[in-house]
Structure 1
Amino acid sequence: FATGLTFSWTADLIAIVALLGSARFFLALAGMDVGTSFGGIGSSREVMIASLAEPAMLLIVFSLALVAGATQLSTVAAFMGSPQVGLRVSLGMSLIALVMVAVAENARIPVDNPSTHLELTMVHEAMVLEYSGRHLAMIEFAAFLKLLLYMSLICCVFLPWGQATAEAGPESLAPGVVAYIGKLAVCGILLAVFETAIAKMRVFRVPDFLGAALMLALLGTLLLFVSRTL
């Protein structure tokens, strides 16, 4: 909701991608640790999705770094809100790729159904099927935080309107918080409408879905690289 905050220097996009990958790795280990067949199936599917989603996410980061000249999230968000960015096809491709990666990373429809317990289609739920109590609560809380993180990335980087600056004083932070909450609400409504309008795809179609995201991210990066060299 604001740029130039005290700890904004710690938010590096490459570090964020690495931390998200580490969290998925430990979640897959937790799924295999229970020793059930469902946990192993869910973990293998989770790793398969991660192996396709993480390269696309890195290419999106490279595209943003080529545009803003930095990988620091606060710097990228401030630059994306400036008039010199304009409308670019490459950034549109990166936005679509990021939405597709966010859907896959958060186990949402059409990649996964977070409310199903059908053995043949479970991915995330298969890993946490044997967990209960505080352990299940922490896993679900982490999943909600990841969804919030991806929504925040989309809103703050590709929809940077209404962001405040820390240098302007505390009174400027309130409109930024209101704009941030409003953008999150719009993203949540769009996600709900999208999930009710489309059916879940087969597990074997997920590589095609994430392959399309990877190609979009790659094309966006190549377009930016070629435009900078001309």
Structure 2
Amino acid sequence: MSAGWAVAAAQAVLVAAVAPLLLGFTRAVRARLEGRGGGRIAQPWRDLRKQFRKEPLIPADAGVFFAAAPAVLTATSLMVAAAVPYLSTQNPLASSTDLIVVVGLLLLGTVALALAGLDTGTAFGGMGASREMTIAALVEPTLLLSVFALSTRVGSTNLSAIVAAGTTDQARVFSPASALAAAALAIATLAEAGRLPVDNPATHLELTMVHEAMTLEYSGRDLALVEWASAMRLTILLGLLATVFVPWGVATNLHPVAVALAAALFVAKLCVLSGLLAVAEVFTAKLRLFRVPELLAGSFVLGLLAVITSAVLA
């Protein structure tokens, strides 16, 4: 049991440590493709270190939601990182790693940040919170449906059970409908993480901001926690995509060598997916805000078709 808790803690530490580096890697790949020099891969960590050294400034009209949001966002991200079977299916949190619980924790962080944006009473904060909740209302069901397509064949919504079945009996878990589910989850990941074409994390234009509009009033350590948690959420979602649909390499025991190999393969999968994300962002323009629901509705339909097809082929 102690080894299992050590693996869960190692997952949380790995995701927390790799998340800023993964963000820097994505920026570096995108810069090279655009013919720019770009920054170093470790630059996001340097930015976080600089922000952690500064005292946060609290707006005069801010309340408890604004103060609590960074901690809630970070805590929920760490909980999901520790619970999802990225390295081993023999996780002491496996009984609690239900798909609905994981999506609920992610939604809790989203709601906390949206309430923080409203709590300041600024026009930009309210605008960003409204847009964020509109996107979340379409993204969260898609996250559920995309994995339900696999759970219908396994007979469980437990992520550890799905990943374990995927590593031992691929024919039972995966079907042609899995491609539809993976596409739906990929689109939902872009929307949940605030990436192109749904949102542009590199812009600060008032009329296009979503995530950035809710964080404008944060500074110092609070801003560092928000940005760190946002990077972790991107890593969590990319890791979920890699672990659920490409489960090869995930350890089915707690042997140190197997867990270490799983960690190396997990980081490699994240690098591949982040590289593909950078390539996609270079050749993708940001959608108009009124076109985003159409994209997310399309991803929801893909997830629904994947569930129906999986149930028919089961």
Length-normalised TM-score, structure 2: 0.70
- Provide the residue aligned with 1:13 in structure 2: 99
2:244 corresponds to 1:157? yes
C-alpha contact (below 8 Å) 2:117/2:126 kept by paired residues: yes
Q: Which amino acid aligns with 2:155?
A: G
- Provide the residue aligned with 1:141 in structure 2: 228
Mapped partners of 2:174, 2:90: distance in 1: 24
Please give the secondary structure, in 2, of the residue aligned with 1:164: coil
What displacement does 1:25 show?
0.9
Q: Which amino acid aligns with 1:139?
A: V
Mapped partners of 2:130, 2:173: distance in 1: 41
2:115 corresponds to 1:65? no
Within the candidate set 280, 284, 290, 1:204 is matched to: 290
Q: Which runs of 5+ in 1 are unaligned?
A: none
2:185 corresponds to 1:185? no
Mapped partners of 1:58, 1:74: distance in 2: 15
Q: Which amino acid aligns with 1:2?
A: S
Please give the secondary structure, in 2, of the residue aligned with 1:120: coil
Query: Following superposition, which runs of at least 4 residues in structure 1 exceed 4 angstroms of deviation?
Result: none
RMSD after superposition:
1.4
Counting only pairs closer than 5 Å after superposition, residues 1-230 of structure 1 correspond to structure 2 as 1-81=87-167, 82-85=169-172, 88-167=175-254, 169-228=255-314
- Once the two structures are superposed, residues 160-213 of structure 1 have per-residue CA deviations (whole angstroms, 9 ceiling, x without a partner) of 11222225x222222111111111111111111111121111111100110110
Mapped partners of 1:142, 1:64: distance in 2: 28
Q: Which runs of 5+ in 2 are unaligned?
A: 1-86
What displacement does 1:10 show?
2.5
Mapped partners of 2:250, 2:296: distance in 1: 31
What displacement does 1:34 show?
1.0
- Shifted more, 68-77 versus 205-214: the winner is 68-77
What displacement does 1:86 show?
6.8
- Once the two structures are superposed, residues 57-76 of structure 1 have per-residue CA deviations (whole angstroms, 9 ceiling, x without a partner) of 22123222102211111111
Q: Which amino acid aligns with 1:30?
A: A
Mapped partners of 1:193, 1:159: distance in 2: 20
What displacement does 1:6 show?
3.0
C-alpha contact (below 8 Å) 1:109/1:199 kept by paired residues: yes
C-alpha contact (below 8 Å) 1:5/1:166 kept by paired residues: no
Q: Which amino acid aligns with 2:179?
A: G
**Residue 86 and residue 48 in structure 1: after superposition, are their counterparts in 2 closer, same or farther (change >3 A)?**
closer
- Once the two structures are superposed, residues 122-152 of structure 1 have per-residue CA deviations (whole angstroms, 9 ceiling, x without a partner) of 0000111111111111111111111111011
Please give the secondary structure, in 1, of the residue aligned with 2:273: helix
C-alpha contact (below 8 Å) 2:166/2:174 kept by paired residues: no
Q: Which amino acid aligns with 1:175?
A: L
What displacement does 1:114 show?
0.7
Identity of aligned residues (%): 44
Please give the secondary structure, in 2, of the residue aligned with 1:165: coil
